[in-house]
Amino acid sequence: MPKKKWKIYARQGEGGKDYAHKCYQNGMIAIGWSRAVKKLIRSSRREDIVEAIQDAYPGDSQRSYSQEAGSIWRFLKEVKKGDIVLMPVQKSGHAYYGEIASLRPYISEIVDECPFKTRRRVNWKKGLFQDPKVPGDNTVNEIEKMPTPKPTPERKDYHKPQPDKEFGRKAEKIALW
């Protein structure tokens, strides 16, 4: 089965706080809606997601619930180990580029700089790439055609990836990814 390609944002809504650098540093990609997702990680019905979002985040429009449910469903059920992920860095023209390393998503209970707790491990390529500006503004978007991202000149103001804070270096050495 061919690898799928995904554009996944790590930000709080359009124009909201961006967590791309933190995700890159920690070797993961993360999405929000944690209060709803905890109940859904093992669900096999897309309808359950809409109901859980409505319960956890009352007051949004029905259209918003449907869009959010689609992104959550794709992150939980369609994104697979080995798929390619492009994570844009807000308002920079750059993106991180990597490969999904975990078999399934997990809920992180650690407290760190990224408030999004629904995560997947990612083997990020080193450094920033030029954002190829592929379409898709939802949190999780499947990309039909994605040009190979071009590296940008290395900048010293971006941090290098750090070992997994939840399990540490020893666990990383024996991990399956």
β-sheet bridge partners, residue 5: 84, 143
Whole-number Å distance between alpha carbons of 123 and 125: 7
Of residues 55 and 75, the one with the higher pLDDT is: 75
Range of the domain at 73: 5-174
- Mean pLDDT of all residues belonging to the chain: 79
| pLDDT tens-digit series, residues 84-122 | 999 999 888 889 999 999 998 888 877 778 888 889 999
Residue holding tokens 């961006």? 18
pLDDT at 22: 92
Q: How many domains does the chain fold into?
A: 1
pTM of the model: 0.75
**Interval 37-49 mean pLDDT:** 70
**Interval 143-162 mean pLDDT:** 62
Residues 6+ apart with CB under 8 A from 36: 49, 52, 53, 55, 56, 57, 72
In which band, very low, low, confident or very high, does the pLDDT at 176 lie, cut at 50, 70 and 90?
very low
Whole-number Å distance between alpha carbons of 87 and 37: 21
